[in-house]
Structure 1
Amino acid sequence: MHRRQIIKGLAASSLMLGAGGISAPLWASGRHRADVIIIGAGLAGLTSARYLKAQGLKVLLLEARKRVGGRIQTINTHGIHAEVGGLQIGQGYGLMRTFAQQLDLPLVSLGQYAEQNTFVINGQRISADEWPTHPQNSLAASEKNTLPSRLYYQMLSKGPQYALPWDWTLEKYAPLDISLEAYFKQQNISPEALRLMDANINALSLKELSAADAFYRLSLARIGGRGAQKIKGGNSRFIQALADDLTEELHTAKIVTSISQSSDKVAVRCEDGSEYIGKRCIITSPFSALKDVEIKADISPQKRHAIQHAQYTSVTQVHFAVKKQADVSMVQATNLWTDNALGRVFSQVDDAGELRYLTSWINGRQAKALDRLSTSEAVNIVKNALEKHYPGLKGKTEVVHHQSWANERFSKGAYIQFAPGQVQTLVPHMASIEGKLHFAGEHTEFMYSGMESAIVSGQRAAQEVSERL
């Protein structure tokens, strides 16, 4: 089935959440045998499992962690539902919004975050009004009026636009499959603008990101509409609702070590010695983690290359609860944007307008540097930087969570990005079916972004399997 036909079929809600499926004989009986084995109980895996179960197929869902959700995780602390993984449900997330409605999960605003930024550049705190004429503003004359937080998208907005986001692999766009740093240098962007953009880029670095990838993500943002929401009570509620009907199918703490494919079956072996047999297998693991799994199957060299060389971003977060007696006047109205290890600090107030919560969000090179340290060392660096720029917070915050997605064994990064040259060579093979092996996850679906791409990919892989059983 053509990919666009598949996506069109997703709009039929009767296929989404367990409406009467086909009556199909089970291929095998027993706890470790199934029609389909699904590896990974994140959004893609859970979506696939629900769809196939509704079709009357026997499914086994294997999750390496002791929890479901993958890179979706809500922490509930100090009256705040804070997301450490997937955060935004965009206006264009039609399938996820339909699921939420059918699961009776209301959507709410992302939270009462500050809307303005204060900047810390070269160690000095600078307001937005001060920036254009501040001594620390070393941008070129044509760039000086652009705030550091807006440089990246302003520079991208001057570049080419894809007719459709998924056109990024077309041969005519091959010249864009160079580093974003090289592309910007071609446009005579100043060295200081490059440095500031690199400080908080949602990627490993300007040098390690393909310009074709950057323009693709900008095109998705353009068609996705403005404004985003999240699930009331946290996005983990969405995950749990998807998993509620899969109690018999779901097996947690199952760390897959090998996947074997023969003419009539797929065998999946786990670290604890257990083995699962199925007719087909859907693999939703990020390729960054999948490359640690032995795949004994005749799969294409292009797919093996993609598994071995796909890149994932480094994202590190430190979450702070703010004590009521803190002097928060300097941070209450603004977020903080820095060119140091503090990254960006998002301020969140409660219904009374009091600052309750701060999240330090660090990307790219700064995150990679922190990820080389112990948790306590990384947290102390971020905490000390916060208190340096806001002395009124000294001793008045409590660290409630540290998250390094790059250091998580089963993710090894927050989300996929493509390096120079990889858009033309890897993207066409990310979702390819390899014999009885199917692939899903945000890294395989490029018609949508974020959590929506994971859900759509799970539905697409499940339909591929259903058509072949």
Structure 2
Amino acid sequence: MHRRQIIKGLAASSLFVGAGGIVAPLWAANDNNVDIIVIGAGLAGLTSARYLKEQGYKVLVLEARERVGGRIRTVNSHGINAEAGGLQIGQGYGMMRTYAQQLGLPLVSLGNYAKQNTFVINGQRISAAEWPTHPQNKLLGDDKKTLPSSLYYKALGQGPKYALPSDWTSAKYAPLDISLKEYFQQQNISVEALRLMEANVNASSLQELSAADALYRLSLAKIGGRGAQKIQGGNSRFTQAMADSVGDAVHTNKVVSHIINAAKTVRVRCEDGSEYSAKRCIITTPFSALKEVALNSDISVQKRRAIKEAVYTPVTQVHFAVNQQADVSMLEATNLWTDNTLGRVFSQVDQSGSLTYLTSWVNGQQAKALDKLPANQAISIVNNALETYYPGLKGKTEVVHHQSWANERFSKGAYIQFSPGQVQTHVPHMASVEGKLHFAGEHTEFMYSGMESAIISGLRAAQEISERL
């Protein structure tokens, strides 16, 4: 059955990966036998488990963390439900919206965010109105009129358009599978424009991102529609409700150490010594973390290479609550876009327009630099930068959460990106079934974006299994 047919039907209802793998010891059989083992209790894993359980299969979900949700994480503090991962539910997220309705979870707006943007370039705070003629504006030609935050999408928007997002892997677009930096240089983008784009690119760097990948994600954004929302009370309520619907089949604190694709069963061992066997297995673990699992299976060379070489985008956040007792009513409520380690700052305001909550969102090279430091040092650097450019907030904020997705053992990044050359070589193999092993997660589904892609991938993997059992 073709992928589109599968989705259409469903919608209506350290990895040792050498060329030969490793020979891990088989352990004694036990009573922990189920029909399907699902590894990971994020969106993809919970979706698979829920579907298969409804079909009457005995399912076991093994989650490494102490919580469900994976890279969906809501920070609840000071009356604010801020998302550290899985930020928004787009208008095009049909399956996620359907599930939310089924689970009785209302959708609400993303929040009262400040509408204005202010820029910090070379240490100077600059308003949008000042930017075109400001001395720190070193851009050339028509770019001088373009805000730093718009340069990236302006440059991509002048490139080729895919008729369908899936076209990005076709031979026609193989010449685009080069570094985005090289692609922009071919378009005569200036050095200063490249520097500003690099400051907040949603990737490790312009050099480490394939232009084909960047253009693909732009095409997804265009078809996603406007008017994104979130679950009332935070998106973590969605994954918790999904887990509740699966029941006691979800086991947390189960760090998988070995996966063996044996003759008649899949056998899974966890670091705590527990062992399980099943007829088939769905692996939703990001490939960045799957590298640390001993995977003994007759897996294709292409799949092993994709796992071994997978690159995930570093994202680091620091969340600040603004002291409600402080007189902040006169502070300027703006979002900041910076070319330093503060990254972008998203400001939430109350009904009167006063600041209530701030999130520093740092990507790429800036995030990598922070991630090399102890958490307290990284937080201090971001906090000092915040007070430099929001001087009225000094002593009036409280750090409520620090999130480094790259430093989390079970994610090692916020989402997958494809490096130059990988779109042509890796993307076609990300979702391939390998013996009794099936793969799901946002890194395996490319007709949809964000959280919707994870859900669709979970449905697709579940359908693959139901066709084989």
TM-score band by shorter chain is over 0.9
Structure 1 SS opposite 2:248: coil
Q: How does 1:368-383 map to 2 (within 5 A)?
A: 368-383=368-383
- What's the counterpart of residue 211 of structure 2? 211
Q: What code does the residue aligned with 1:244 have?
A: D
Structure 2 SS opposite 1:113: coil
Whether 1:8 and 2:8 are equivalent positions in the alignment is yes
State the shift of 1:245 in Å.
2.3
Q: What code does the residue aligned with 1:112 have?
A: N
> 1: distance between equivalents of 2:447 and 2:408?
27
Q: What code does the residue aligned with 2:163 have?
A: A
Structure 2 SS opposite 1:438: strand
Deviation >4 Å, runs of 4+: none
Q: What code does the residue aligned with 1:348 have?
A: Q
- What's the counterpart of residue 82 of structure 2? 82
Scaled by the length of structure 2, what TM-score is found? 0.95
State the shift of 1:12 in Å.
1.4
- What's the counterpart of residue 35 of structure 1? 35
Q: What code does the residue aligned with 2:55 have?
A: Q
State the identity as a percent.
75
State the shift of 1:31 in Å.
5.8
1:58-110 CA-to-partner distances (Å, cap 9, x unmatched) read 00100000100000011111000011010110010000001111111110000
State the shift of 1:202 in Å.
0.6
Whether 1:303 and 2:303 are equivalent positions in the alignment is yes
Q: How does 1:114-263 map to 2 (within 5 A)?
A: 114-263=114-263
> 2: distance between equivalents of 1:255 and 1:81?
29
Structure 1 SS opposite 2:208: coil
Q: What code does the residue aligned with 1:85 have?
A: G
Whether the aligned pair in 1 keeps the contact of 2:329 and 2:353 (CA below 8 Å) is: no
- What's the counterpart of residue 384 of structure 2? 384
Structure 1 SS opposite 2:399: strand
Structure 1 SS opposite 2:289: helix
Aligned length: 453
Whether the aligned pair in 2 keeps the contact of 1:100 and 1:238 (CA below 8 Å) is: yes
- What's the counterpart of residue 444 of structure 1? 444
Taking a change above 3 Å as real, the CA distance of residues 101 and 228 of structure 1, as seen in their structure-2 partners, is same
State the shift of 1:115 in Å.
1.9
Whether the aligned pair in 2 keeps the contact of 1:336 and 1:344 (CA below 8 Å) is: yes
State the shift of 1:116 in Å.
1.7
State the shift of 1:445 in Å.
0.2
> 2: distance between equivalents of 1:313 and 1:187?
25
Taking a change above 3 Å as real, the CA distance of residues 107 and 30 of structure 1, as seen in their structure-2 partners, is farther
State the shift of 1:247 in Å.
2.5
Taking a change above 3 Å as real, the CA distance of residues 383 and 326 of structure 1, as seen in their structure-2 partners, is farther
Whether 1:280 and 2:286 are equivalent positions in the alignment is no
Whether the aligned pair in 2 keeps the contact of 1:111 and 1:348 (CA below 8 Å) is: yes
Structure 2 SS opposite 1:358: strand
State the shift of 1:262 in Å.
1.4
State the shift of 1:326 in Å.
4.4
1:420-440 CA-to-partner distances (Å, cap 9, x unmatched) read 000000000000000000000
State the shift of 1:192 in Å.
0.3
State the shift of 1:329 in Å.
3.5
- What's the counterpart of residue 363 of structure 1? 363
1:257-315 CA-to-partner distances (Å, cap 9, x unmatched) read 01001120000000001101000000000000001001110100000000000100000
Structure 2 SS opposite 1:143: helix
- What's the counterpart of residue 316 of structure 1? 316
Taking a change above 3 Å as real, the CA distance of residues 403 and 194 of structure 1, as seen in their structure-2 partners, is same
1:185-218 CA-to-partner distances (Å, cap 9, x unmatched) read 0000000000000000111110000000000000
Range that drifts further, 125-134 or 385-394 = 385-394
Structure 1 SS opposite 2:145: coil
- What's the counterpart of residue 331 of structure 1? 332
Taking a change above 3 Å as real, the CA distance of residues 168 and 457 of structure 1, as seen in their structure-2 partners, is same
> 1: distance between equivalents of 2:379 and 2:266?
43
Unpaired runs of 5+ residues, structure 1, are 14-28
1:139-187 CA-to-partner distances (Å, cap 9, x unmatched) read 0122100000100001100000001001100001000000000000000
State the shift of 1:227 in Å.
1.8
Q: What code does the residue aligned with 1:251 have?
A: H
Whether the aligned pair in 1 keeps the contact of 2:258 and 2:294 (CA below 8 Å) is: yes
Taking a change above 3 Å as real, the CA distance of residues 424 and 391 of structure 1, as seen in their structure-2 partners, is same
Root mean square deviation of aligned Cα: 1.1
Q: What code does the residue aligned with 2:344 have?
A: R
> 1: distance between equivalents of 2:214 and 2:54?
38
Whether 1:96 and 2:96 are equivalent positions in the alignment is yes
Unpaired runs of 5+ residues, structure 2, are 14-28
